[in-house]
A and B are shown apart, each in its own frame.
Chain A
Amino acid sequence: MGMIGQHLLNGLMQGTIYGLVAMGFTIFFGVMNVIKFSHGDVLTLGAFGGLVAVWAANALGLSVPLQFIVALCVAMALTAVVGAGISHFLIMPLRNAPPLNMLLMTMMVGTAIREAIRLFFPNGTNPQRFPELLPAGGFNIGPSFFRTDAIILIIAGAASIGAVYWIINHSKFGLAMRAVAEDTETARVMGINFGRIIPLTFALGSITAGFAGMIYALYYSEINYSMGLLLAVIGFTAAIVGGLGNIWGAIIGGYLFAGLQTFVVAAMPSMSDYKNVFAFVLIIVLITWRPTGLLAERGSERV
């Protein structure tokens, strides 16, 4: 058990990624009432966009820190544009349809993005190596090895979560966003330009995906066209277990899920086959215990 520190750090890193993905889900259906199943694939797209940017920057002879900045910007800009485009062309026409239809739509959008990467990115089915842009190395505390890049990424992830929280809950844009989500018509009567707010909200949610994709790529140094699929399932789970009404719920859910997986492997390596069985059983128990998430949504509906 000398590796407890190491496991903690692993869990923290993994939880940060899960939490970021979960936060995207919370933005989409906590705030916009949309289940966006293409979220994971937008994340993948961000990572691949970042990869191309690094290649280009490298070819232009930019320094490593500059490559890093360019990649980050490209990933976020790409996902923002794609997110806004999806909302405008595909989500908006379905606004009056049963909410589940949105799910099918986004699922198919996700499939299309995923398949497009696989088919049209050179050698797209195979995993791609993502260059290391952050300082390598680290330090040992006892038997545990603390990677510098992991620590940087955890801090960056936490900071971005904080920033998004602020935008949603304390900025005027966030206010408008929530108003539009709840009642578009009345929001318009209050002078809110919903035609702009909705794409912007999707852009924001998608930027978190792009950001998560970059964190993923930088941490694992390897990306592949289907990496968003499982992340989306886990992110969705985390968001819901945590409670949809609130971004902190997503974060808690993310760390919880990461903790669960890590714990099973660390405590019972021979049972590693079953770790997802355990994780999901526990999830079912949790959701039964708190049917609207750990941080329960405040009831706003009354009779």
Chain B
Amino acid sequence: MTSLSSDVLLESRGLTVRFGGLFALNELNIDVRNGEVLGLIGPNGSGKTTFLNVISGVYSASAGKILLGDIDITREKAHNISSCGLSRTFQRSRLCLSLSVFDNIALGAQRTLNNGLWHNIVQRKSFAAEAQKIADEARELLHVFNPALPDKLFDPAISLGMIDRRRVEICRALIGKPKLVLLDEPSAGMTHDETDQVVDEILGIRKSLGGLTIIIVEHEMGLIERVTDRCVVLNYGKKICEGKFRDVAADPVVREAYLGQA
């Protein structure tokens, strides 16, 4: 029994988020197992992004509970949750566009860096070594996504195209070696082919990091089918179905509410 419960990395119990009279999440119970890739799908406005927001501490829950491992993070501030090993991307790109790619990626590694004033201002040598280490790691990660990207490490993020910005965001989420990564529509705006590539990249990196748990929100069913171990389908803030993608996709309720006839 204990081994089973330690198997669950994140669980939400009766999680509710309200905006005025609107229930964006309604008594939601979701378990995320250690090391799995969980697909979160559902119609527009069903609460997927809200779920990611509330577990990463951006929104606060109106009711219910979220446990990360054994820690109750329901009322925790976002920065504390992050230090438990959680990172994410955003549905709408949130890079600091005027900063360099490197600065943006370094943010992802923030919790592993030495932020002391003494270290940063006075011990410039050791600071430089640290910066060099992050730069090397960032180059390595970027290289996996796009061999041309490492050369743009010190270009401002605004000079990148949309796709490359998404890639940088994913790198930012991965560089801090998190336990749990939340990806919100990583493939939006890409062609099928490009989507496939991103999938491969994510899977590759997951392998190289080992034991990374991912929650992925997508409307691109091909991607979901290929990467997820398990899917949860939301509608109106409620879980309407859960299971392997193939089973979920066959569910008539899901077809009716989400997939359409295709």
Residues of A participating in the B interface, judged by any CB pair closer than 8 Å:
303
Contact = CB atoms under 8 A, between A and B. Distances in A.
Interface string B38-71: 0000000000010001000011000000000000
A185 to B, nearest CB: 16
Contacts of A303: 49, 53, 58-59, 90-92, 94
Contacts of B59: 303
Nearest to B88: A303
Q: Chain A interface secondary structure, helix, strand, loop or mixed?
A: loop
Contacts of B94: 303
Interface in B93-128: 94
A303 B58 CA distance: 8
A303 B53 CA distance: 7
A122 to B, nearest CB: 50
Nearest to A299: B19
A298 to B, nearest CB: 10
A157 B53 CA distance: 45
A303 B89 CA distance: 10
B149 to A, nearest CB: 25
Q: Chain B interface secondary structure, helix, strand, loop or mixed?
A: loop
Given A303-B58, A303-B90, A303-B92, 5 more contacts: A303-B49, A303-B53, A303-B59, A303-B91, A303-B94
A297 to B, nearest CB: 16
A289 to B, nearest CB: 20
| 8 nearest CB pairs, A to B | A303-B58, A303-B53, A303-B90, A303-B49, A303-B94, A303-B59, A303-B92, A303-B91
A303 B59 CA distance: 9
A303 B49 CA distance: 8
B199 to A, nearest CB: 24
A303 B19 CA distance: 14
B60 to A, nearest CB: 13
Contacts of B58: 303
A303 B56 CA distance: 11
8 contacts: A303-B49, A303-B53, A303-B58, A303-B59, A303-B90, A303-B91, A303-B92, A303-B94
Nearest to A303: B58
B143 to A, nearest CB: 29
Contacts of B53: 303
A92 B59 CA distance: 37
B120 to A, nearest CB: 26
Contacts of B90: 303
A303 B92 CA distance: 7
A303 B91 CA distance: 8
Nearest to B59: A303
Nearest to B92: A303
Nearest to B58: A303
A303 B94 CA distance: 9
A289 B211 CA distance: 45
A303 B48 CA distance: 12
Nearest to B184: A303
A303 B54 CA distance: 11
B93 to A, nearest CB: 12
B255 to A, nearest CB: 29
A133 B92 CA distance: 58
Contacts of B92: 303
A303 B57 CA distance: 11
A301 to B, nearest CB: 10
Nearest to B53: A303
Nearest to B56: A303
A226 to B, nearest CB: 39
Interface in B164-209: none
A303 B184 CA distance: 11
A303 B60 CA distance: 13
Contacts of B91: 303
A297 B169 CA distance: 30
B51 to A, nearest CB: 12
Contacts of B49: 303
B139 to A, nearest CB: 29
B230 to A, nearest CB: 25
A196 B94 CA distance: 33
A303 B52 CA distance: 10
A299 to B, nearest CB: 10
